[in-house]
Each structure stands twice: as C-alpha cells, then as structure tokens.
Amino acid sequence: MKNILKQIIDSNKQVETAEKAAAAAEIANPSTKDSRRNFLRKTAVGGIALGGFMSMSTEDTIAQATSKVSRASKPSELKITDLRYCIVQNVGRTPIIRIDTNQGIYGLGEVRDGADERYALFLKSHLLGQNPCNVEQLFKSIKQFGYHGRQAGGVCGVEMALWDLCGKAYGVPCWQLLGGRYRDKVRLYADTPESNDINEFKQKIKFRTQDQGYTWLKMDISIGMLRNSEGGVVNNKFWGGGFSQWAGDYHSYANTKHPFTAIQITPKGLDEMAKVVEDVRSVIGYEIPLSSDHYGHFDLNNGIRLGKALDKYRLAWFEDMVPWEYTDQWKTISDALETPTLTGEDIYLKEGFKALIEQRAVDIVHPDLASSGGLLETKRIGDYAEDHGIAMAMHFAGTPVSFMANVHCAAATQNFLALEHHSVDVPWWESLVKTTDGRKLIDKGYAVVPLEAPGLGIELNEEEVKKHLHPKDKSFFAPTPDWNDKRSHDRLWS
C-alpha cells in the first residue's frame, strides 16, 4: 500500500515539475501574449494547474484549494454572532431575518407578514454566543416573548432560522430533523381569481387549475358582496355603511369582534351570497375542494344561518367564522353544520390549540407556522390534532423563506391536508430565492420537497430581493448593534 501511495505521489510530482517547466518556457517565449503571461504568473502564485499548484505539493494544493470553503464540520462549536434583517414589500410588509455564525454559515427566517422586525431584533441579545443547533432549548428560552397573532412573529422567525442553520451544519434537510417525511410534494391551495364577468372568470379558473395546476381553491364569501344590494344586511348603517374587515379605529366595525356588531344577514342577502358560491361551483365542478373565508363580522347565529345556506355546495371548510378563542361558540357552530369548520391562523403554541382539539370544537386546525411557534411546534400541533382524529391545513402569506419552512413541516406531518399559497399571481415571488439543489420551488400546484438539500434548501436571490424592499426601510441586512445588549432578567419563575 505504501509503495502504491509513493508511486502516486511521485507521479504527481513529475507532472507538477513538467507543468512548471512548460509554463516557465511559455512565459519566457517572446511570442506569448501579455494577457497569457500574466495568467500563468498568477496561476503559479495562487491557482490550480492540472496536476496541482506549480510550486506546491499535492497535499499543499488540496489545502490551498479548500482554504476559502465555508465549513460547518464542527456543529458542536457553532456560535451565533449576529442577527440582521431586511423588509420585503410582500403582503404589505414581510421582514426576513438572517442569523450569522462563527463558521460562516447562516440561517434564514421570516417574521410573519404585517409584523414588526423588532419582535425578532429584541431576541438577539438572548441568542448571541449560543449554539444554534440547540433549537428546542433556545426556543424554550425565547418563547415567553411571543404571543398570539403577529406578536409571535419574532420567536417563529428565529426558530425557522435556527432549523435552517442546524440543517446546514449537519448537512440534512429540516424535515429530516423533524423525524422524516411522509410526502415528496406538498399540496397547495390558492385563492380563486376574481372577475365579475362569468366568461372571463371561467378562463381564469381554467388557467388556475389546468395551466398552474392547483387542485384546491379558496374563495371569500363576504357580506361585502352585498355592498350594492338594498336590504341584504341589518344594522350596517350604524357602522357608517362600511363593510371593511381590515382598516379602522378602535371603535370601528373592522376592530369590533364578531359577536358585538349585531349585524345580521337577511334572507335576501343569504340568497345572493349562495348564488355567488353556486356560480363558482358551476365553473370548477365538485372534484376540486373549495374552501371559504372572510365572511364579515357577525355572530354565531348568523354564521350558522350562512353555513346552512351553503352546506349543499360541499365546501372544504368554513374558516374563522368567529374569533378563535371562543371555543364554546366554535363547538356550537361545528355541531350545527355539515361542512367542516376550521380556525387557528392566529394561535400561538400548542397550548392555544388544546381546547379546540380536545373538545373537537373544529374539524380542522389551521396554524400559521409564523405565528404558531415555528416548525417543531407546528408539527406538534398537527400530531396532537391527529391523536384526536382532526386534520391540519396550514395558513401562509409571506415570502419563499417562510413558505419553505411550511413545506418542511408539512412534509413531516402525517395529517396534513393543504398549504395556502397567497402570492400565486405575483410574478416575481418565486425569484426571491434560489433552490440550492436546482429543483423547482413549485411544480403544477405542488411545492417540491427538497430530498437532500440541507436546511430549508434555499438561498436568497439578493439582487431580486433588493428590487422589492419596503419603501420605508431600504436597508439590506445592515448591522444591528443596538440590539446586542441584554438589559433585563426575564426568567418567569423565582
């Protein structure tokens, strides 16, 4: 064996000597162009020839060639050194965070759409110097700083980035770290396209299902449909005649919880809303699941009346008919209707889902991974629901960073149904990232699960991201030293 190795080394050295002599002769030749001569000189200093460096042994060649390669060969010695962000103008505003380490690798995460990047920046002082691979330990130390809705965005964004880092450090996909996968592709659901012209609507549906390949759709069935209908609702004029569910002051219709508006839908209004659903069903047929959402702010009695009017269209689910925390009301609605019920996009942690699941108050749980606690906590929610015979769909509206966190979680959770894709018609959305294994991000209505790519399996396409930064904050992963210092003792027990 030693003789074979010696022969190989001697042979390499002979090749190196011959190449060095040939290069020297070419440099000395007056007919050699200056550009070629400069190239050969640079190669002799720092480049690689066919058999090795011209002035180095084979062993030195290998060492020099790999000196600038970013390694993560010692995950046990990884330390978090920084946390930075940029904000993409997508679904309003969506902060992307980056956690850096002492070994040159980094993890990407995302603060939920519409949330503040400071929810994540506040956590930086609790993370510096820590090993990012201790994901569960770090999550337990920072989860006290999250809450329901967008207030969970920082904790969840950090958790995503930690799993991305851990996967890169150990060279495996995030789904593998969650226990393995149940599927190689993740079914997506998308909004139905909008049009008042039935023929145009048919063409858009054909494009959505046949060209884009989506096999699950969702539509809004809102009392906003009755805006121009006389006598469709009761008590709307008290609220200024408005139907907006999203914008308004503290005393507005938009910010008044459903049971407290006293708005009712008249029989005429119910008929008009049902007709819209009937028209959509007549176009897409009954093979494609059709979910529903955004009905407006009215109480459980009107929710049940609307539900019964729509039961015959076999919708996939009624989503968020009343606020998620009203477990008893959800139980009443679910018991009264044939159509499955669903809620959960604003719930933080498994504890927030327990009552709904244990009382079977809903038929499907619907966590948003960027609010529910991140990858592992969302898988735990799905597993707990599975134990009680309840399925899990996943709410999502953000960039491809959070999208891929959802894909890994969905791949690793058995009772998963479908993942929302909110930006299906945004032409630049997919180009915000590059897949690290060359796969498509989405193929015919399904997200492609990375089978071997480490971590989340994506990197940012930085030039494309810079084109879509939020106009009020154009910074791009700028230093954040103001958030380095830990200034309080935050332990929750004495």
What is the secondary structure of 406-470 as a DSSP string? HHHHHHT-TTEEEEE-TTTT-TTSGGGEEETT---SEETTEEEPPSS-SBTSEEE-HHHHHHTB-
Residues 6+ apart with CB under 8 A from 381: 350, 353, 365, 367, 372, 373, 392
- Encoded tokens for 246: 């999203």
CA separation, residue 360 to residues 317, 395, 417 (Å): 15, 20, 18
How confident is the model at residue 25, as a pLDDT?
A: 66
* Euclidean distance between CA atoms 286 and 366, whole angstroms: 23
Q: What number of CA atoms fall less than 13 Å from residue 445's CA on the CB side? A: 17
Rounded to whole angstroms, how far apart are CA atoms 201 and 279? Answer: 10
List per-residue pLDDT tens for the chain, 494 residues long: 445 445 544 555 564 565 566 666 666 665 665 555 554 554 454 444 444 434 444 444 434 433 343 444 699 999 999 999 999 999 889 999 999 999 999 999 999 999 999 999 999 999 999 999 999 999 999 999 999 999 999 999 999 999 999 999 999 999 999 999 999 999 999 999 888 788 898 999 999 999 999 999 999 999 999 988 899 999 999 998 878 888 888 889 999 999 999 999 999 999 999 999 999 999 999 999 999 999 999 999 999 999 999 999 999 999 999 999 999 999 999 999 999 999 999 999 999 999 999 999 999 999 999 999 999 999 999 999 999 999 999 999 999 999 999 999 999 999 999 999 999 999 999 999 999 999 999 999 999 999 999 999 999 999 999 999 999 999 999 999 999 999 999 989 99
Cβ atoms of residues 80 and 99 within 8 Å: yes
Nearest-angstrom CA–CA distance, 5 and 7: 5
Q: What is the spatial distance between Cα 355 and Cα 344, in angstroms, rounded to a whole number?
A: 12
Intra-chain end-to-end CA distance of the chain, in Å: 65
Largest CA distance in the chain: 97
- How far apart (Å, rounded) are the C-alpha atoms in residues 377 and 152? 12
Give which of 162, 163, 183, 159 is closest to 173, Cα–Cα. Answer: 163
Nearest-angstrom CA–CA distance, 436 and 439 = 8
Cα–Cα dist 185/199, whole Å: 33
Pairwise CA distance, residues 180 & 389, whole Å:
21
Domains within the chain, CATH numbers bracketed: 78-171 (3.30.390.10), 177-461 (3.20.20.120)
Quick check: 295 and 223 in contact, CB under 8 A?
yes
- pLDDT at position 246 is 84
DSSP 263: -
Which pLDDT value is given to residue 50? 40
Torsion of CA 412, 421, 188, 352, to 10 degrees: 50
Name the amino acid, one letter, at 30.
P
CA 198/CA 196 separation, integer angstroms: 6
Other Cβ atoms less than 10 A from the Cβ of 26: the count is 13
pLDDT score of 56:
43
Q: What is the pLDDT of residue 196?
A: 78
C-alpha span between 385 and 204 (Å, rounded): 35
